[in-house]
Amino acid sequence: MPIYRGDGGSGDASTDAYASQVATYAQTATTKANEAAASASAAAVSATAAANEATTFNNSLGAAATTLSAGASATASYNSSTKVFTLGIPTGATGATGATGATGATGPQGATGAQGPTGATGATGAAGADGAAATIAVGTVTTGAEGSSVTVTNTGTSSSAVFAFAIPKGDTGATGATGATGDTGATGAAGADGADGVGIPIGGSTGQALVKIDGTNYNTQWATVLTANQTITLSGAVTGSGTTSITTTLSTVDGGTY
């Protein structure tokens, strides 16, 4: 790059000194730039390490809480080894008693139970600080099963309570005396005639019975059968000599053979 040396020309001493000084400044600027670049690189490495350490800290950071008695002072501690904050939170003061809920319907008088022994009087607790004003409302009122316990459930929150009541039915009373017999009801209408039975033909006369005609089911007919001590009369002439035999087939009637 050409350098303007001024009016004195190339041999002017003041111009040569100025050029040398400019060259020195340029060298110094280059050195400072290199140092700044190295410092920026080191700063970037340090920032990355710090970010990683912060991430590790956030991932391992934890908290625990314990409940202290009412009126105690809140506490807080930090364990650098476990990276856990431990908070001690005192129990809040008891709020003012809410208004009495509406009285439920009176159930039947139950049996009186035996009176339990009187418990010992507990020590008076320390007075707590005034709590925030709470609201109380009556929610649902349902009838519980006979013999169950009365339950009161808060379906709202601790500061805006809504009480649901379950009140059991009273015990069942003794059975009353049997009432007088009512009048006899009117006779119902006659039912329709049933269908005729299968295989029982109509007709027949005294002394007849149904007998099978053949092996077909329900194929029967009325027939006259012999009864006990019945006389059989044979008519017609008997001719010939020697011994004559007469064979007769009799029916079974009333459990015997004749």
For residue 188, how many C-alpha atoms fall within 13 Å in the half-sphere facing its CB? 3
What is the CB neighbour count within 10 angstroms for residue 135? 13
Contact 15, 6 (CB under 8 A): yes
Is pLDDT above 60 for 4? Answer: no
Rounded-to-integer distance, Cα 140 and Cα 104, Å:
11
pLDDT, tens digit, 9 for 90 and up, residues 183-227: 888 888 888 876 665 657 788 888 788 888 898 888 888 888 766
- How does 58-85 read in b/e, with b if 16+ C-beta sit within 10 Å? eeeeeeeeeeeeeeeeeeeeeeeeeeee
> What is the per-residue pLDDT across 23-35, written as a single tens digit (0 to 9) for each?
888 888 888 888 8
Which pLDDT tens digit goes with each residue over 119-141?
889 889 888 887 777 899 999 99
SS3 138: strand
pTM, to two decimals: 0.21
Tokens of 54: 């912060």
Q: How far is CA 183 from CA 60, 178, 186, in A?
A: 88, 15, 9
